[in-house]
Amino acid sequence: MVADDASVGFLHPMPAGEAAAFWRAIADGIAARDILLWAVEDGGGPIGTIQLHPAGKPNGAHRAEVAKLMVHPRARGRGLAKQLMATVEQAARDLGRRLLVLDTVEGGVADSLYRRLGWTEAGKIPDFALKSGGGSEATVVFFKQI
């Protein structure tokens, strides 16, 4: 997905060990109960994942961030992203969270997905993320009250 220019925080080519370090940090967050993660697999391995990061501060006990929605190219077009979003929204409700936030690259596939799923654009931040081929792109910040 990084090679396909997915905006998931990495640049292509990824240095050796960068992905492993990322997933170790996520595992630590899961163990600390700071991150919830769902993954979907098929016979060929992982095909989708999503994370929920509940705010840890007392004034944020009502909100969480949705992060790293990823669907493998071989599994796209099957509604998996929509299912993962529904799962994370229900989990947030179950935790008593009523406000969700996320960001994504402006104009990307996920941008239109979030709009279709009822998310509201809060604004855009120009020059937010560097691109693998050079230059940068804006991010769109979304929220959803659930």
Beta-strand ranges (E) seen in the chain are 36-42, 45-54, 63-71, 99-105, 120-130, 136-145
CB 125 within 8 A of CB 136: no
Residue 3: pLDDT band (50, 70, 90) is: very low
Distance from the Cα of residue 83 to its chain's centroid: 13
Residue 30: pLDDT band (50, 70, 90) is: very high
Residue 1: pLDDT band (50, 70, 90) is: very low
Number of H helices, E strands in the chain: 3, 6
Q: Give the number of residues written for the chain.
A: 146
Q: What is the CATH number of the domain that holds 118?
A: 3.40.630.30
Domain-embedded: residue 37: yes
- State percent of the chain over pLDDT 90: 87
Total domains in the chain come to 1
CA distance 137 to 122: 17
CA distance 121 to 89: 17
CA distance 25 to 30: 9
> Which is more confident, 2 or 105?
105
Q: What is the structure's pLDDT at 7?
A: 58
Q: What is the structure's pLDDT at 13?
A: 86
Q: What is the pLDDT of residues 88-110, one digit of tens each?
A: 999 999 999 999 999 999 999 99
- Which pTM was predicted? 0.91
Structural domain of residue 124, as residue ranges? 18-145
Angle, to 10 degrees, between the axis of helix 109-116 and the axis of helix 80-94? Answer: 60
Tell me what the mean pLDDT of segment 129-140 comes to: 94
Per-residue pLDDT at 138 exceeds 80:
yes
CA distance 25 to 21: 6
Domain-embedded: residue 11: no
Domain-embedded: residue 6: no
Domain-embedded: residue 80: yes
Domain-embedded: residue 10: no
Helix (H) or strand (E) holding 114, with range, is helix 109-116
The per-residue pLDDT of the chain, averaged, comes to: 93
Kindly state the tokens that stand for 138: 């804006």
Domain-embedded: residue 12: no
Q: What is the pLDDT of residues 33-79, one digit of tens each?
A: 999 999 999 999 999 999 999 999 999 999 999 999 999 999 999 99
